[in-house]
Amino acid sequence: MIILNYKKISVQKVTNKLHSALAWSSIAVAAFAAGLYAYSLASYDFKTLNENTYKHSDLRGSVVVINYFAEWCAPCLREIPHLNEFYHQAPNNVKLFAVSFDDLSNEKLSAIRYKYNIQFPLISEIVTNFPFEKPQYLPATFIIKADGTLAGQLLGEQTKTALNDVVSAL
């Protein structure tokens, strides 16, 4: 009878340990799933100078205009007032962003923004590439269609009218 009680206690201890292990496993799986969900919410494809983050998928349904510029590029600087006008009058489904051709710190990018009165968002960090390569010539403006595919590249200085014409043709 003592042996039976010993076995009974042992089975009970094993059962308790199994329940405990299952409980901890469930907690670990739930924590892992929560971590993956939080990561998916926190991850982004690019960030602007003012710390707004964007996923390419979130911009689907909008026409996205990406302008590459550099401070040493005179035509790039001449087109800034036109880009400002375009940005302010663009419909809600059109997004304009600019990217510095040169790898600049946020401080330097912020100084350029202030110095040249750039009023549209400047991309400060690209995590996931756009559907095109970095341009070889400046200024370069890329148009991404609402479905996320590249509509085309515009080389040279752009005006508000030219950008409106391209965007309205999509």
Report, as an integer, the average pLDDT of 5-10: 56
C-alpha radius of gyration, the chain, whole number:
27
Q: How many CB atoms lie under 10 A from the CB of residue 153?
A: 15
Confidence of residue 60 (pLDDT cuts 50, 70, 90): very high
pLDDT > 90: percent of the chain:
71
pLDDT of residue 55: 95
Give yes or no for a contact between 102 and 70, defined as CB atoms under 8 angstroms apart.
yes
Q: What is the pTM of this model?
A: 0.75
Q: Which CATH superfamily is domain 46-168 in?
A: Glutaredoxin (3.40.30.10)
Residues 114-152 pLDDT 10s: 999 999 999 999 998 888 989 999 999 999 999 999 999
pLDDT at residue 3 tops 60: no
* Residue 130: strand, helix, or coil: coil
pLDDT of residue 14: 60
> Across-strand partners of 142?
66, 153
Domain borders along the chain are 1-42, 46-168
